[in-house]
A and B are shown apart, each in its own frame.
Chain A
Amino acid sequence: MKPKVAIFEFGCCEGCQLQIPNLEEKLLELLEHIELVSWREGSSAHSEGPYDITFVEGSITREEEKDRLRQIREKSRILIALGACAHIGGVNAIKNSMDQEEVRRYVYGDKAEWFPSIPAMPLSAVVPVDYVVPGCPIDKEEFLEITKALLMGKTPVLPNYPVCVECKRAENICVYEKGLVCLGPITRAGCNARCPTFGNRCIGCRGLIDNPSINAHKEVMARYGLCAEDIINKYRMFWGYAEVIK
């Protein structure tokens, strides 16, 4: 029997899910191995579960979402965080360091009281998460790698080394040499160093490696002219929920 797969979302842009139809003919090949039973963005089918594999996109930004996520968890044998918002809170967590009332008024104006929200948090702050597809957006090939591993009964493994490794494998000229300040030395690889390869700095969308040398990285950024506040602001883009900015 094909495993039943569901895809759900919370606070996000749904751009990570959009990478799945972007697989085009590979999606058709994947459908020979799985049954997609619930996927609001891509299919009119809906099942109340249970699910073998559930991908959840988005961060938790409202109190009532916690219950919905717990219900999804209960119905799912394997639960996977899909993308930066679900994995680490993502850009939604930039607001965590601001005044919450002010943020709501800025977004919802005079209707702010109709939209109660809480500081953004990753799925793992509410329920146990089995695996992660990192990134903003996800890399569709990595989504396939992780799904294939599960279909073969293997444990999906993410690189636990920084983006620098992939830059060096590609023989990139370090973006620090071009005057950019990059989060690559402590950000989890797996994107083939996409941003630095095209001349941009890494902004950390895939989250931190397991044991990042934060202090050494801060020293390097200071050497390249950043003050403490600048450094925290760089970290805050995707890591607003993480300890490193506290």
Chain B
Amino acid sequence: MPIMILGKEKVPQFVEGLLRDYQVIGPRKKDGFYLFGPVSKPEEIALEYPIALYPPRKFFLPAKEPVLRFRLGEKPEVEPVVEPPTPKVLFGLHPCDLHSTRLLDAAFLKENPDANYETRRRNAIFVGIDCLAPCDEYAFCKDMGTLDPKGYYDLFLTDLGEAYAVEIGSGRGEELLRKYSAAREATKAEQSKLEEVRKDRDKNFPSRLKFDASKLPEILWSRFNSPYWGELAKRCMGCGSCTLVCSTCYCHDVLDRVELNLTEGERIRVWDSCLLDEFAKVAGGLNFRPSLEQRLRHRFYRKGKYLWDLLGLPGCVGCGRCTRHCLAKINPIEVFNDVYQEYSQA
């Protein structure tokens, strides 16, 4: 696919076109932060943003959603709730957020696909945008191998100054560009400019892990019984914020809600968190991770080992949102480096 060029002044016209046929989701500024949400005008999109406070996960897995409706009685009736598809363009996702959706896909689409996730995902088009410098001191995307989007987009923009270079990742992306934008093919000079910008980008991102991330599963596994986790848990409030703002966490609880007529109701799923006291409580009252130390360790092992083993992808994309939201500033960069220190001394 040729690399295309879209002048910055032509972006509003592109978004305008998309808005005719799609719901457009983009980063919007609010109280000094950026949040993903639907936009109604191109100027609402703050394309040159550092990071959105919350990940795009909610567009595929809402915080709370009904999964079935039921009616009790002699012949109980059950009907799945499947949302009608809404074609969406997620405009301006950073590479870390593109990678996070890759992990959610692996969890929800592989075996036994989830109907609602699948509908939302099949109807979503990703227009990514490159990060040319780290968003802040908490991000470690380069270490986790998610700074490069690795083709996981429909379209991908890179800031060349006056214009964006647009890389095409899919037929849908190509069609979108052709139908709604005034993009043209890049000249030789523009192509070399893109290569230069990429090289500079890679230099701008420092390595924050002291080891190669592919060793994380082995490093973590060797320190399972370390007293480190107990010490760390003393600082942790167990509030669950780290997992609830995580772009790859997908654990949820399933609850039944009945109406006041006591016969009709719905089954809902809501975001849950493995940090919470009752997450591992099962029928009969047994809690197989009763201490915060166990739960906090479990969270880091999900990110750095278990999901890797299960899905073949790191469970963490290095976006740093967990640290940003953690009031105790428990930081995976520090945790992974501390555990590596123990590992290398053992």
Interface residues of chain A, those whose CB is within 8 Å of chain B, are 26, 29-30, 33, 144-145, 148, 151-152, 160-162, 164-165, 167-171, 173-174, 176-178, 184-186, 209-211, 213, 215-217, 219-220, 223
Contacts and interface: CB of A to CB of B under 8 A. Distances in A.
A173 B34 CA distance: 10
A30 B236 contact: no
A153 B257 CA distance: 14
Given A164-B240, A168-B241, A209-B277, A220 B328 contact: yes
B270 interface: yes
B118 interface: no
Chain A at the B interface: SS class: helix
B235 A219 contact: yes
B53 A164 contact: no
Contacts of A211: 238, 277, 292
Nearest to A221: B327
Contacts of A145: 257
B276 A160 contact: yes
A82 B278 CA distance: 24
A176 B63 CA distance: 22
Interface of B: 30-31, 33, 35, 53-54, 58, 63-64, 234-241, 244-245, 257-258, 260-262, 270-271, 273, 276-278, 292, 325, 327-328
Given A160-B277, A161-B240, A209-B277, A148 B260 contact: yes
Contacts of B63: 169-171
Given A168-B325, A169-B63, A173-B33, A160 B278 contact: yes
A167 B237 CA distance: 15
Contact of B325 (A26, A174, A210): A174
A168 B33 CA distance: 15
B325 A169 contact: no
B260 A161 contact: no
Contacts of B258: 148, 152
A29 B261 contact: yes
7 contacts: A164-B237, A165-B239, A170-B63, A173-B30, A185-B239, A186-B239, A216-B328
